A and B are shown apart, each in its own frame.
Chain A
Amino acid sequence: MIDLDFLQYDFMRNALAAGLAASVLCGVIGIYVILNKIVFISDGIAHAAFGGIGLGYFLGYDPLAFGIGSAVLTALGIGMVSSRARVSEDTAIGVFMATGMALGIMLLTLSQGYARDLYGYLFGNILAVTRSDVLLISALTLIILALVFLLYKEFLLLSFDPIYAEAIGLPVQSLRLLLLAMVAFSVVILIKIVGIIMVIALLTIPGAISRRHMLGLPAIMAGSMFLGAIFVTIGLLISYELDVPSGATIILTAAAVFFLSTVLSR
């Protein structure tokens, strides 16, 4: 019997709400990340966001807002660079990624006394999610869902065959930048939950499992949302009961299901 008394705590209710909203987001954006093969780009964006978070601390403003800002800038930067094709895309990502991390660590250290927060951003601290964080995460999730709903056929065309898409007049470059910006928003939200280091796992594992068992993009997205919600809830419960780090527990839950499903579908 699962003990539901943890729900009497505000921080647990916030954590669960944020986790569920993030699962919906992962379900949708994660699939596009997988299909467009931009897993490495997404990871680079997550790391680069750390530079913005550090700057936010240093200047004494909201670190999350600065994190979103630097993530979006990085996403657009990578998108532009890769379309110019002067610097190869993964080189660009590598440079952005390391620079962002270095800046973040430097600025956080200069800001004195934020070592605990540093840990939280790197490894996630879903229990520190506040009421206003939940509202922000829900609002961003709704905006991104609306965009995907409106541009469903465009994103499908872009993901499947960008060369043909351009030939028949789809604004491929703008859509690609929009997709990267959406990934940037999602990634920063996920940093709150599982931390920079593990963002990519939560973004890709539910989609990777769902893709094996579902047919058609909408079903895969739905399956991926469902799995994300399960991972977050179970991970949260275990971390509460055993008093272990929440981010790592969520990712380990997801990874366990991933390996199990790989072995079983053999």
Chain B
Amino acid sequence: MTEKIVSIKGLWICRAEHAVLEDINLELVAGDFLGLIGPNGGGKSTLLKAMLGLIKPERGSIAIFGLPPAAARSRVGYVPQKTVFDQSFPVKALDVVLMGRYSRTGLLHRYGRMDRQAALEALKAVAMEDRALREIGTLSGGEQQRVFVARSLVSDPQLLLLDEPTAGVDSAQQTDFYDLLCHLNRDLHMAIVLVSHDVTAISKYVGKIACLNQRLYYHDSKELKNEDIEKAYGCPVEMIAHGTPHRVLREHD
């Protein structure tokens, strides 16, 4: 029997009296790789935050591994949208990865040898082990992003949530990065939710695709109906499939 990793039923989230998410239903099992696309402000980050238990639903339910989201955090890895930090912050890459062990180590306990071992292995998984002792600010944007992915992997998650992880990463590094996600998904059976605005790029890699703009357009497959995308983006589908929805929206007028 495949365990239900994510089970969202009739989820509504409102902010200042406005519905941000409307009647979302979503189920994911082990090995699923979901690409979540949609226009800016469509609620993609909000949905991820709800899955982490950072935002309370107005109506409906979210269960992660059958648990309330906040209780399941130690089994979930999270890569936030563009980590903003002080580039001269005095920590090594290894220290940053260790931070991801917090959910396992807990309040007041110190990191032990096991934690350090896990951190080194996570860095190895993203091919950054030779940078372990470098200060985080001295690494390139792509390298930093890999360190943040390692930080999300270090707690051995079974569900990985990535919020536009390739922002500010050049295209060669992006390909490497997607290959890494495919490896985690295929070989380690990690369920992955990848939020992106780059439809063409991710459609090569993900197993299923959903489109979110307040409502979720999803058919448990890699296919999205044209009318769904048109409804979500408010413009003809062939424009979106070629990438740049923003420029297209202007021509659309």
**A residues in contact (CB < 8 Å) with B:** 35, 37, 150-154, 156-157, 159-161, 163-171, 211, 214-217, 220
Nearest CB in chain B to that of A216: its residue: B90
List the 10 shortest-distance A-B pairs measured between CB atoms, nearest first.
Answer: A169-B73, A168-B103, A167-B78, A157-B99, A167-B52, A217-B90, A164-B80, A169-B103, A168-B102, A161-B85
A168 & B86 in contact (Cβ 8 Å cutoff):
no
Contact with A along B48-68 (1 / 0, CB 8 A): 010010100000000000000
- The interface residues of chain B lying within 8 Å CB-to-CB of A157 are 99, 102
Q: How far is the CA of A157 from the CA of B103 in the complex (A)?
A: 12
Complex-state Cα separation, A167 to B160, whole angstroms: 13
Q: Which residues in B have some Cβ–Cβ distance to A below 8 Å? A: 49, 52, 54, 70, 73-74, 78, 80, 83-86, 88-92, 95-96, 98-100, 102-103, 105, 107-108, 110-111, 135, 151, 155
For A168, the chain B residues whose CB sits under 8 A away are: 73, 78, 100, 102-103, 155
Summed over the interface, the residue pairs from A and B with CB atoms below 8 Å come to a total of: 71
Q: Is the CB of A160 within 8 A of B102?
A: no
Q: Check B135 against A166 for contact (C-beta < 8 Å).
A: no
Q: How far is the CB of B192 from chain A (nearest CB, A)?
A: 16
Which residue of chain A lies nearest to B107 when distances are taken between CB atoms in the complex?
A154
Q: How far is the CB of A210 from chain B (nearest CB, A)?
A: 10
Given A167-B52, A216-B90, also A156-B73 (CB < 8 A): no
A161 to B102, CA, bound (A): 13
Chain B residues in 8 Å Cβ range of A170: 102
A221 to chain B minimum Cβ distance, whole angstroms, is: 10
**A35/B89 in contact, CB under 8 A:** yes
A60 to chain B, nearest CB (A): 41
> Which one of B74, B91, B103, B110 lies within 8 Å of A160 (CB-CB)?
B91
| B98 surroundings in chain A (CB, below 8 A) | 153
Cα distance A220–B110 in the bound complex, in angstroms: 20
CB closest chain-B residue, reference A211: B90
Best-surrounded residue of A169, A171, A217 (most CB of chain B within 10 A): A169
Contacts A167-B52, A169-B102 known; list 19 others, CB within 8 Å: A153-B111, A156-B91, A156-B95, A160-B99, A161-B85, A163-B84, A164-B83, A165-B99, A166-B54, A168-B73, A168-B102, A168-B103, A169-B70, A169-B73, A169-B103, A211-B88, A215-B135, A216-B91, A220-B90
Question: Distance in Å from the Cβ of A227 to the closest Cβ of chain B?
Answer: 16
**Which residue among A35, A166, A168 has the maximum number of chain B CB atoms within 10 Å of its CB?**
A168
CB-nearest residue of chain A relative to B148?
Answer: A164
Cβ of A252 to closest chain B Cβ, rounded Å:
27
Chain B residue nearest to A151 in the complex (CB)? B108
Report whether B70 and A160 are in contact in the complex, using a CB–CB cutoff of 8 Å. Answer: no
The interface residues of chain A lying within 8 Å CB-to-CB of B74 are: 169
Say whether B80 contacts A163, CB under 8 Å: yes
Out of A156, A160, A167, A215, name the residue touching B80 (CB < 8 Å): A167
A168 and B157 CA atoms in complex are apart in Å by 12
Which of chain A's residues has its CB closest to B136's CB? A160
Q: Which residues of B contact A37 (CB under 8 A)?
A: 86
Shortest A97–chain B CB gap in Å is 25
Taken together as a complex, chains A and B put the C-alpha atoms of A156 and B136 apart, in Å, by 14
Which residue from A153, A211, A214, A217 sits with its C-beta under 8 Å from B110? A153
